[in-house]
Each structure stands twice: as C-alpha cells, then as structure tokens.
Structure 1
Amino acid sequence: MSTRADGSSPATTQQSATQQFVTRVGGRIRALRKGRGWSVQRLAEAARISRRMLTDVELGQANPSLATVDRIARALDTDFAALALPAGDPAEPQVDGTVVWQSEDGSRALLIGATQHPRAELWRWTLSPGGRYEAEPDRPGAQEIHHVLSGRLTLELPAGPRTLAAGQSAVIPSDQEYAYRNEGAEPAVFMRVVTGA
C-alpha cells in the first residue's frame, strides 16, 4: 500500500474526506433544523426519512445517500451544495472539490462548486472498472450534462443504455431512475453538471 508525504495511505485520506463531509453536512442540518425550531421528527417527516436516519446524519454517524441529503435540503428550503460545500468565499476556486460519495473499489464523486441562481452544480466523477452508481430521480425538470474525460461511461436510462467515450457528451433528464456504470478496463472519469435539481 502506498503512503502520502504526511504518512497517510490513500484509503485513510479518502475515509477522512468522507468523514469531513458527513460531519459538515450533519452539523449544518442540525443548525438549520434548530434555527427553525423544528424537532427531529418534524424534519424527518418533511424529508420522508426515518427519525433514526436523521439523528444518525446529524451526529455524523451515517453516510447518507446523495438523494437523502437532497431530500433533507429541500425540506429545509436549501440545496445540496449549501449543505455539502465548505464554507468560504464562493468565488474562491475549489481545486480538489468535496468528496461526497465513494465506494470501496475507489470510485468517487467530487462536488467542485455550485451556483444559486440559476441552480447548478459542477461535479467530477471517477468510476473504477466495474463500478456502478444508482441515482434516484431529481426534481421534475432537472437535467444533467455529462462529459467524459477518459475511459467509457455507460448511462443506464429507461430508454436503454447509452455509452460515451472520452471526449463525448450527453444531456439527460435526471427526474427519472438512472445509473452510471463502467464496463471498461480503465477508470471512467467524467464531469457532471446538474441543473434544476
């Protein structure tokens, strides 16, 4: 196993980044909920999740799905990016982004930045060979733009799969069930822009 200059392994660094995300999101959710004077039960009902899950999220003891964080954000009249991105000047460039999702095979999603009006999010995804991510539908009218930087990305859509090679792009409605998968032998690296979610 390789180590970084600070002595940490890549796996430890990834776990640390994920825990930072989980802790940040949980703290912000709790602060917004308390600021509204809402109980855990009230927010859980508004977000359509269990009270136990919400408690675990607020305490940084659960790694919720992207869709779960989005449902909580909507219930609090905010958005995913406001909960996920580090605080600071929104005009300041994010070099690495915020690790929002990762799997044991090394696949991961970085939220690089977002705008408020109109709402849009910029992501950089890496799917390892054999990697797959199942998404849940976004709000009606939401769309995603995908641009493949390297490898091949297959979009699983209700109308059938669509495979994109390096340099190719596609726009899909994301208010439907869909998934990403990498059937190739090398990582699939792609940019993803989400609008209207």
Structure 2
Amino acid sequence: MSGQGAIGEAVARTVRALRAGHGWSLDELAGRAGGSKGVLVGLEQGRGNPNLGTLIRISDALGVPLTRLVQVEEEPPVRMFRPERHVVLWEGEKGGKGTLLAGSDPRPSLELWRWELQPGESRASDPHVPGTKEIVYVQEGTLTLGVDGRTDLVEEGAAAVFVGDRPHSYGNATKREVRFILAVLDL
C-alpha cells in the first residue's frame, strides 16, 4: 500500500472512532468542522484527498492534534498492564486503597480500578467531564454509593452503572471490608 493510502486509511479509522466516541453524527461533525457531510463520508470511507485546511478543522472540532488524525501506526490490539504497572492512587486513613489497574488514552478513555474500603472509610470524587459513565461491581461487602445527593447500597455480587459527571462517592458504612471493581468511561 502506498504512503498516501496508508495515511488515508489512518485518517478514516481515526475520524470514525473519534466521532463515534463523541456520539456525533456525520452532520454534527460537519457542522462543528465547518465542512460538508459528503467530504466526511468520503474521508471516513478512505476515499478522497482532503486538503490540510479540512483536516485541521476536523481535528479542531474533535479536540485532537492534527498528528492524531494522520498517525499511520495503530494502537496495538493488546496492551498489557502487568502487576508492577498497577498504581495505588488513593489510600484511606484506615488502610483502604484505590488501585488503577489499566487505562486507555486518549479520549474516549477507559479506566479499570480495584478498590478496598475498610469500615468507616469513604472516598468522595469531584465530577468528571460531561458524559462520563462509571460501572461498579461489588466483590465483597456492601458499598454505599452516593451520586448527586442520592445514596444507594450496592450489595455483594451486584453491579451499578451511574453518571460520573456529577459529585459522587464510595463508602463503607459496615463493619467489614468492601472490595469492588470500578470502570470509568471518560468521553
């Protein structure tokens, strides 16, 4: 494949993925980029030869640098995060931990966490960027989940999906340890 063909495929793949990650239609991206839907259709199908100005407007609309659109190398299909790469990013006053196990980048990004809360511990979180979603699965104990002034109990073996773009907290109001897995999708 020629260099131009590889770049065209990279642009097509990247624009499709980023547009989908934002949840935008072709019309919406065209409006934000000040271009036509027809140009975007051709671009996402790997056809056509958009000029530099068009690519810059599209990258600006998507909130990424131009280099991100034209990178020929794909992210590898598998990225390993071995235990030595796991990072404890929160430690509670009674020994609880919030450990980041893995994450993707750039946006939309996905993070996977392992949490342990000792009795009486809680962790409050500021709102994330608009559109962020979180999923929690409780492996052991009962988690007190607070979201935007509402409190729910998530029992062992249960899962909950909630908005992460509002104030939220994870707490342990019981007398035994709570362990849970958390996934954060940051759009």
- What range describes the TM-score normalised by the shorter chain of this pair? 0.5 to 0.7
- How far has the Cα of 1:94 moved from its partner? 2.9
2:98 to 82, 100, 109: 109
Judged with a 3 Å threshold, the aligned counterparts in structure 2 of structure 1 residues 104 and 94 are, in CA distance, closer, same or farther, namely same
Residue 107 of structure 2 is aligned to residue 120 of structure 1: no
1:172 to 162, 166, 182: 162
Number of aligned residues: 111
Query: Take 1:96 and 1:185, find their aligned partners in 2: how far apart are those partners?
Result: 31
What SS is found at the alignment partner of 1:161?
strand
Residue 145 of structure 2 is aligned to residue 155 of structure 1: yes
What is residue 185 of structure 1 aligned with on the other side? 175
Which structure 2 residues correspond to residues 1-197 of structure 1 after superposition, within 5 A?
Answer: 90-94=79-83, 97-116=86-105, 118-158=108-148, 160-196=150-186
Contact 1:94 1:113 in 2 (8 A): no
Query: Take 2:131 and 2:119, find their aligned partners in 1: how far apart are those partners?
Result: 31
Contact 2:138 2:180 in 1 (8 A): yes
Q: Structure 2 unaligned runs (5+)?
A: 1-62, 65-77
Query: Take 2:84 and 2:128, find their aligned partners in 1: how far apart are those partners?
Result: 27
TM-score (norm 2): 0.54
Q: Percent identity?
A: 29
What is the RMSD of the two structures over their aligned residues, measured on CA atoms? 2.3
- How far has the Cα of 1:103 moved from its partner? 1.8
What SS is found at the alignment partner of 1:105?
coil
TM-score (norm 1): 0.52
- How far has the Cα of 1:156 moved from its partner? 1.1
Judged with a 3 Å threshold, the aligned counterparts in structure 2 of structure 1 residues 96 and 149 are, in CA distance, closer, same or farther, namely farther
Rg comparison, structure with higher value: 2
Letter in 1 for 2:92: S
